[in-house]
Amino acid sequence: MSSDQLTSCMQAEAQTRGFSLDAAQLNACSVLQTAYEQCVKRSSPLPAVPLLRRLLGSVPAVTPVKGVYLHGGVGRGKSFVMNAFFSCVPLAQKQRIHFHRFMADVHARLTELKGCENPLLRIARDIARGVRLLCLDEFHIADITDAMLIRGLMQGLFDHGVVVVITSNTSPDDLYRNGLQRAQFLPTIALLKQSMAMVPFDSDVDYRLAFDPQSADISALPEAFTAMAEGHVDQKISLEIVGRAITARCLVDGAVWFDFHELCTGARGKADYIELANRFHTICLSGVPRFDQHSLAQARRFMWLVDEFYDRGVQLIFPDAASTAHFDHADLLDGEFKRVLSRLAEMQSRTYVSRSTN
């Protein structure tokens, strides 16, 4: 597929959403052409390496490929471009996954490989055997554990010839800014800049705010939840999520209603939201507070929740979801909370609700 053909394919994807690619997105298409060519050249997974050769360190070398790092402000179309590119690549060995979920999988594998030598390289090699194109959405380093892991993992993926495409609201130089022991993270930044083509998205348009607003009925939480329940509704039921009990106010096939404090206080985290997204297509949430500097932990969990549900097409319902009443401080969490506002606006749109119910 030529550059023009790839652009045409991605333009067609945009037209199904009711818009045309802007200059930044067209530039991304041009850069992604190289990644596309690398993908189709390596259309088969890596062969398994015999145990003896692995023990001796005799592993066939793979020429590292150039990945692509798409970065820019909230709602500039980065995820759309990556998703459109992913759809246009005629490759079976490809994976598109939210970064939170990807790292949850990595942590699970590290637990399984406890005691093994070079576990990150082994994880990277295992990924490379089945994946030639890896698309990571919403790349963001928030804690020191991930900061220390990501360099070895990315180096392993690059060394094994995996084409990595990343979207992020943050440029590489600003990743993990003000983080604990950030100096140890700087080599990771250098690796990303050396191994990936940097594509900035500097459009002033937030495409997520261009959707038709959903009917106000979606904000009437009790009525909306009752309307979804065509049969028996279980009330005040205890569920097990990631090995811990959580109380749901109501439960009906595929839909559940929680109070905010059940999902976003205490020891809840990304793994909980991943499992919830796996189990439910609709989640109602009541009692969402007004976030401020005194509720940063809750705000961060809520941000993780929205990111995961948005990525998985989960219908999230809570009163005043599309308004900014709960989010007087959009600059919370170094501005990352702006993404929550943008995504919530889209999640209340007819377009999103239609996608989440298909």
Domain extent listing, the chain: 3-207, 211-357
| DSSP 8-state assignment for residue 48 | P
State mean pLDDT over 239-268.
85
The token pair that represents 171 in the structure block: 């440029």
pLDDT, tens digit, 9 for 90 and up, residues 306-322: 999 998 889 888 765 54
Residue 357 has pLDDT above 60, yes or no: no
> Mean pLDDT across the chain, nearest whole number?
79
Confidence tier at 70 by pLDDT (50, 70, 90): very high
- The CATH-assigned architecture of domain 3-207 is 3-Layer(aba) Sandwich (3.40)
In this prediction, residues 95-101 reach a mean pLDDT of 87
Residue 18: the pLDDT is 65
In angstroms, the CA 79 to CA 70 distance is: 9
Average pLDDT on 159-183 reads 91
Higher local confidence (pLDDT), 165 or 218: 165
CA distance 64 to 160: 7
Measured distance CA(70)–CA(343) in Å, rounded: 18
Strands of the 133-137 sheet, one edge to the other: 94-98, 133-137, 163-168, 67-72, 196-201
Average pLDDT over every residue of 208-215: 44
Write down the pTM of the prediction: 0.63
127-153 pLDDT per residue, tens: 999 999 999 988 988 788 889 999 999
